């Protein structure tokens, strides 16, 4: 149980294009999902909290117009990096909170490697 | 928000017990302590979670003293495949307030 998937696992795009990353909880319903960014040899940095049916809450310094988050259902959240630039190249990881099973914690997806040329 | 401090790296040998300590002096009353393991280019994997005293599961033990200002992850008899980065996370996910530490890179040698 507690499987979270991400798609795609790897994406390479040209500067100026938009990229959508999907995060799915496969065997449980997640009212809350989190989006992280991780640069090489660094810890995870929380970008935003995504709640089903409502607007995402962004951390300080994260541009909400650049990183669009949609949590349309209890099993799917998407992150769209708009007008991507090389500095957006990073490892993006989502996690989902499973309320019905103890402990109350978050389960992570496998991550998406974004490379912007 | 309770910030955490972990050693940057640790070395060990196969078969040894490894203890990784995380300091969280400003832990709040409702905060839980959770440990994750991360391999390169993968998402973190849940290891163990606790609130106080000792918690044990099939892969690890978590020791938390009475003042809860620190916690120790104990990995029994590590193998080469345990080489990874271990993160201590402190917070209350119920209110979406938590802090990921900088992680400890564990290197297990043969």
pLDDT tens sequence across B12-31:
999 999 999 999 999 999 89
pLDDT in tens, B35-94: 999 999 999 999 999 999 999 999 999 999 999 999 999 999 999 999 999 999 998 877
Of A58, A53, A61, A45, nearest in space to A93 by CA: A45
pLDDT band per the 50, 70, 90 thresholds, residue B97: confident
B34 and A CB contact within 8 Å: yes
pLDDT of residue A102: 56
User: Which residue is closest to B45 within chain A, CA to CA?
Assistant: A108
To test the contact with chain A by mutation, choose from B85, B88, B93 the residue with the greatest count of A C-beta atoms within 10 A, namely B93
E-strand spans in chain A?
A: 4-7, 10-13, 19-25, 32-38, 45-51, 57-58, 67-73, 76-81, 90-97, 106-108, 112-116
> Which pLDDT score, from 0 to 100, does residue A1 have?
65
CA distance B45 to A36: 14
Q: Which two three-digit tokens encode residue B29?
A: 């009353």
Better-scored residue on pLDDT, B2 or A47: A47
pLDDT of res. A51: 86
Predicted confidence at residue A103, as pLDDT, reads: 58
Encoded tokens for B64: 């938390």
Question: In chain B, which residues have their Cβ closer than 8 Å to the Cβ of A28?
Answer: none
Question: Is the separation of the CB atoms in B47 and B35 below 8 Å?
Answer: yes
Which pLDDT score is estimated for B27? Answer: 92
Angle at alpha carbon of residue B14, lines to B11 and B19, rounded to 5°: 50
Identify the pLDDT of residue A39. Answer: 94
Interface contact A93-B94, CB threshold 8 A: no
> What CA–CA distance (Å, rounded) separates A71 from A92?
16
Confidence of residue B2 (pLDDT cuts 50, 70, 90): low
Looking at chain B, list the stretches that DSSP marks H as alpha helix, in order from N- to C-terminal side: none
B60 to each of A64, B51, B57, how far by Cα in Å?
39, 15, 6
Residues of chain A with pLDDT under 50: none
* Residue B1 pLDDT class (50, 70, 90 cuts): low
């Amino acid at each position: 149980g507690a499987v979270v998937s991400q798609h795609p696992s790897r994406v390479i795009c040209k500067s100026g294009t938009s990229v959508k990353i999907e995060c799915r909880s496969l065997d449980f319903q997640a009212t809350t999902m989190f989006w992280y960014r991780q640069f090489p040899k660094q810890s995870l940095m929380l970008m935003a909290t995504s709640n089903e049916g409502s607007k995402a809450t962004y951390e300080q310094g994260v541009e909400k117009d650049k990183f669009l988050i949609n949590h349309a259902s209890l099993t799917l959240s998407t992150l769209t990096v708009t007008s991507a630039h090389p500095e957006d190249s990073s490892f993006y990881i989502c996690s989902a909170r499973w309320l019905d099973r103890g402990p109350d914690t978050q389960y992570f997806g496998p991550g998406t490697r974004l490379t912007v040329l | 928000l309770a910030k955490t401090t972990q050693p940057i790296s640790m070395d060990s040998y196969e078969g040894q017990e490894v203890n990784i300590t995380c300091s969280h002096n400003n832990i709040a009353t409702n905060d839980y302590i959770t440990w994750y393991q991360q391999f390169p280019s993968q998402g973190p994997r849940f290891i163990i979670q606790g609130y106080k005293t000792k918690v044990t599961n099939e892969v690890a033990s978590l020791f938390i003293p009475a003042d809860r200002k620190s916690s120790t992850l104990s990995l029994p008899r590590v193998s080469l495949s345990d080489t990874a980065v271990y993160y201590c996370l402190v917070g209350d996910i119920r209110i979406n307030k938590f802090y990921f530490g900088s992680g400890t890179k564990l290197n297990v040698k043969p």
